[in-house]
Structure 1
Amino acid sequence: MRAFGTDFAVPPGYLNTPSVGIPPAPVAAAVAESVERWRTGAIRPAEFDPWVARARAGFARLLGVGPGDVAMGASASQLVANVAAALPAGTRVLAAGGDFTSVTFPFAANPGVTVTEVPLDVLPSRVEGHDVVAVSVVQSADGRIVDLPALRAAAEAAGAAVLLDASQAAGWLPLDVAWADWVVAAGYKWLLSPRGSAWLAVRPDARERTRAVAANWFAGEDPWATVYGLPLRLAGDARAFDLSPVWLAQVGAAVALEYLGGLDLAQVAAHNVGLADSLLEKLGLPPRGTAIVSLEADPGRSAAAGIVSSVRAGRVRVGFHLYNTADDVERVLRAFE
């Protein structure tokens, strides 16, 4: 099918983007070409450096930050660990109850840190008395969106640092998050990139509060000059927190992020939310203004109706993205008949 100016090979009823996004044809083609070069021995390591740079710049553009403020990694939790491991003993972290554990586990794994969970809807009002707030912009389980303006105001008033996980938001929700100390996102969901791609935006004044827990050759100022020997010599910007790249993932991410960066994300959000709220309305439920819908439903019945979805927190979770249509809404409705 063709949607938003490109082609997708998405089957009807695919509503599982919150788990795995489906790439546009040019993304899959770029990865396939690299696989063929690998298969035939034509590949050279340095040829992936431009892909990494393109993907980094694409993510930076989506967040409204500079490429030098973005670290590249393989997963959200691995990048969050650069923040969590740097926190000194006695740090008090505030989190949303039931948030995805890639956000909370890295902090809980630091024995000197206390993590307190509160309901998402009251989180901004509980910031006082905490040093760091770590929360997903959009909740994985049910699509609820944190009140970002209220959180920003509360954090600034309390002097608290903020880490945002945009894995369920970046790619469909226009984001004004450059104010946050750290913003992380995995690429394989709404960003339509291969798994093994993720990024962490680090505000310049937060670099000294971030630790390179997986310091490696690629995190050097000139990676090809830091492949052997000491002393430690990391890049002077957020690239100091880079992981050695997952090559094929970066190829796909470069193409996907450039494609998404050329879209009007307000239109993407209107499309996605319009379908999600249409489903809720036809089920007699109030609109929620998010691309993710969590339903009390029989997973077996949903699958029998040709719906590809996930079960999260005991409920069937569906998500609407670029390639979904009103026909997908009708397919879900038929599962409730």
Structure 2
Amino acid sequence: MTSIDLLWKPVEGYIDTASYGLPSIGTMQAVEQALSEWQSGLGVWEQWSTSTESARASFAKLVNTESSSVTIGAASSQLIGMIASSLPRKAVVVVPDIEFTSNLFPWMVAEDHGVVVRAVPLEYLNETVAQGCDLVATSAVQSATGEVVELTSLRNAAESVGALTVVDATQAAGWYPIDASQHDAVVCSGYKWLCSPRGVAYMTLSERLAAMLEPSAAGWYAGEVIKDSYYGPPLRLAKDGRRFDISPAWFSWVGGAAANNDLLTIGIEEIYRHNVYLANRLLVELDMQPTDSAIVSLKINSSVDPAKVPFRASLRGGGLRISFHIYNDENDLDRAASFLKGSIVRS
């Protein structure tokens, strides 16, 4: 494993990657260089755009798919909205009722043109899907609770009724192994576990789903040959996932490319072991059952002042959400455990 101290500056007490990930030294340097080039007028946009294609290719490796199936965007909801707006009238979409709204609101907006949305408790997701639907959408790891969804059984339930599977990997990709080749769409915002700047988002598409989508936001960057797609007809879009691209925010993608390379250098399996070890150790220290998730949600006593928590975490879904990533270590674990032993509510 690469020495993490060579990639990230030690950040003691920041255990909140589920809110936003921290950039590596290399990511910061890459973005700062691009911004300096922009300020000086010496920058060449084609070089910044090369980072977008590098990030597309490295994300494909991170989630086990071909780069030709990857679409780039700015946010998960923007990409999911493209799918939602392409669904036919009376299409039935099943989602967990605890789902983060970036993977919920786009489907609910589609109700205006006849889509039917069924929000069900997560524990009944597979059962509801197997009863019949057209599409199931879920996060691979739930934002509020850290619960890891068993995607293989969900895919099997969907296949049994011919339903599409859409997985939001925003809280998973970067620490949890994701196989995008097994799903019709995997969508991911990069600013959390991928440690990218805001404005970096990806969507992988199966051939089946790609054939259903309308590239409603297509512009010059979605052209088959970008430099030949600036002006005038005819419509000449890329044949692969690029046909659904929007024009990239250059500097975000410079950071995204550098960040993905760091994660590939370390390896997702190694990151998974590291993160889950710390999270499980915290739960054991608190006499609780391990959950094998990098995200831990705990109820804290109402008397505890959140402003006085001696580490950085978030209040989400009625609990204190703690999330360990590759730049965390046992000092962060000990700091959290020491405080929480007298502060959590035990059910």
TM-score tier (shorter)? over 0.9
Q: 2:338 aligned to 326, 334, 337, which one?
A: 334
Identity %: 39
Gaps (5+ residues) in structure 2?
Answer: 343-347
TM-score w.r.t. the length of structure 1 is 0.96
Q: CA deviation at 1:322?
A: 0.2
TM-score w.r.t. the length of structure 2 is 0.93
In 1, are the aligned partners of 2:11 and 2:327 still within 8 Å (CA)?
A: no
The amino acid that maps onto 1:105 is F
For residues 257-291 of structure 1, give each alpha carbon's deviation from its aligned partner in whole angstroms, at most 9, with x where no partner exists: 12212333222111101111111111121111100
Aligned to 1:284: 287
Q: CA deviation at 1:122?
A: 2.2
Moved more, 147-156 or 163-172: 147-156
For residues 87-111 of structure 1, give each alpha carbon's deviation from its aligned partner in whole angstroms, at most 9, with x where no partner exists: 0110000001110111111111112
Q: 2:190 aligned to 175, 187, 190, which one?
A: 187
Q: 2:274 aligned to 264, 271, 275, which one?
A: 271
Q: Please provide the CA RMSD for this pair.
A: 1.6
In 1, are the aligned partners of 2:95 and 2:118 still within 8 Å (CA)?
A: yes
Q: 2:311 aligned to 290, 302, 307, which one?
A: 307
Distance 1:185 1:212 in 2: 19
SS of the residue corresponding to residue 184 of structure 1 reads strand
In 2, are the aligned partners of 1:74 and 1:197 still within 8 Å (CA)?
A: yes
Q: CA deviation at 1:165?
A: 0.4
The amino acid that maps onto 2:162 is G
The amino acid that maps onto 2:8 is F
Aligned to 2:226: 223
In 1, are the aligned partners of 2:11 and 2:328 still within 8 Å (CA)?
A: no
Aligned to 1:131: 134
In 2, are the aligned partners of 1:132 and 1:161 still within 8 Å (CA)?
A: yes
Distance 2:227 2:310 in 1: 49
In 2, are the aligned partners of 1:298 and 1:316 still within 8 Å (CA)?
A: no
Distance 2:49 2:269 in 1: 31
The amino acid that maps onto 1:260 is L
Q: CA deviation at 1:125?
A: 1.7
Distance 1:298 1:192 in 2: 31
The amino acid that maps onto 2:322 is V
Aligned to 1:253: 256
For residues 7-28 of structure 1, give each alpha carbon's deviation from its aligned partner in whole angstroms, at most 9, with x where no partner exists: 3134211011001100111011
Distance 1:312 1:211 in 2: 35
Aligned to 2:345: none
The amino acid that maps onto 2:329 is T
Gaps (5+ residues) in structure 1?
Answer: none
Task: Say whether 1:151 aligns with 2:128.
Answer: no
- Counting matched residue pairs gives 336
Moved more, 292-301 or 130-139: 292-301
